[in-house]
Structure 1
Amino acid sequence: MKLRWIPVAITAVLSAALLFGGWYAYGQYGVEQPLDRVANAIPGVESADTNRSISSVELQLKLSPDADLAEVYRRVQEEGAQAIGDKTLKLKVDDSSDPALEKAWSHALFDVAEAMDHKKYSEIRTAMDQLTKQYPEIEADTQMDGTNVYIRLRSGAAVKFVILPRESEKLGVWPNA
């Protein structure tokens, strides 16, 4: 039996195109667009862009300065559950921080990291209270749920959002702090 290589090659190329095209279409129309729609409908979200990988879904957000980050996470998790499936949801927030706000955050970072490491989450609120006493122009808001600790620092038009996972990474480093 003699194989004809041209029909075999065409069949292989068409099969690969169909397979990867279907995978791309599912990701685009079954995961990314539904999550973008859910996130954009939440109050405080100015824009949302979804990126997915094999094990996680990353939602890049631009939030208004008065956005409730914990509520945004909760609603995306609940309303986008079908699109997220068994993947991990990761939020990345674009904020409009400034050097003074970053400097203030760096002063509080050690206390926050220690509280997270020892799982004494109430000390985070204490650290934020001390920060607002040291820097009176800064407003600090902290919230927590079963997954993350959320911190919002605000000074005038500048705002910094921080999401700290309650289950730290192997290295104990927070990529967005």
Structure 2
Amino acid sequence: MKLRLLPVLVSVVISASVLFGGWFAYQSYAMENPLESIVAKTPGVDLVNTRITNNEAIVELKLQPGTSLRETYAKIQNESTAFLGKKELKLKVVNDTTPEMEQWWSSALFDVAQAMETRHYAQIPTTLQSRVKNASDMKVATEMDDKFVFITLTDGDKSKYVMLPRTPEKMGVWPNE
């Protein structure tokens, strides 16, 4: 029995197109579109990008000054669990900072890292508030939930948002900075 190459090749191409087309449609319409819709409806959030992989949903977003990162994370997490399932939600905040704010954060990072490593989370707000007294118009807000410590630095209309995981991974640079 002799197989013809053209019909076999055509059926492979059609099968692959249907398979990957169906996977793409499911990924787009059943997961990414609902996630983008939730993020777009969240107050104070400007959506930048979403990406869903096999075990995580990555949302890159920009927050308007004065928006609570903890509340934003909780809202997106709660409303997306139905269709994300066991995928881990990771927020990456696009910061609009100043060089002075970055310099200030760099100098405060050692004390914050020490408090995170020793799990003395109550030291973080105290340390940051004492350091911010020396900065001009900068304001610091700290919040915490069961997974993260959220730090917000605001200087006028510029802000820096940092999510530090409470269960530390290998120390180095925090993954959500």
Task: Verify same fold: TM over 0.5.
Answer: yes
After TM superposition, the score normalised by the length of structure 2 is 0.94
Residue 56 (structure 1) aligns with: 56
SS at structure 2 position matched to 1:77: helix
Deviates more, 1:50-59 or 1:147-156: 50-59
Residue 110 (structure 2) aligns with: 110
* Residue 166, structure 1, aligned to residue 166, structure 2: yes
Residue 153 (structure 2) aligns with: 153
Rounded Cα–Cα distance in structure 2 between residues aligned with 1:62 and 1:77: 17
Q: Does the CA-based 8 Å contact 1:36-1:48 persist in structure 2?
A: no
Q: Deviation digits for residues 20-66 of structure 1, max 9, x if unmatched?
A: 11111111111111111101111111224211222211001111001
Where do 1:1-177 residues align within 5 Å?
1-177=1-177
Rounded Cα–Cα distance in structure 2 between residues aligned with 1:79 and 1:103: 36
SS at structure 2 position matched to 1:134: coil
Q: Does the CA-based 8 Å contact 1:39-1:48 persist in structure 2?
A: no
Long gaps (5+) in structure 1: none
Aligned-residue identity in percent: 42
After TM superposition, the score normalised by the length of structure 1 is 0.94
Long gaps (5+) in structure 2: none
SS at structure 2 position matched to 1:43: coil
Rounded Cα–Cα distance in structure 2 between residues aligned with 1:28 and 1:99: 38
Rounded Cα–Cα distance in structure 1 between residues aligned with 2:167 and 2:135: 30
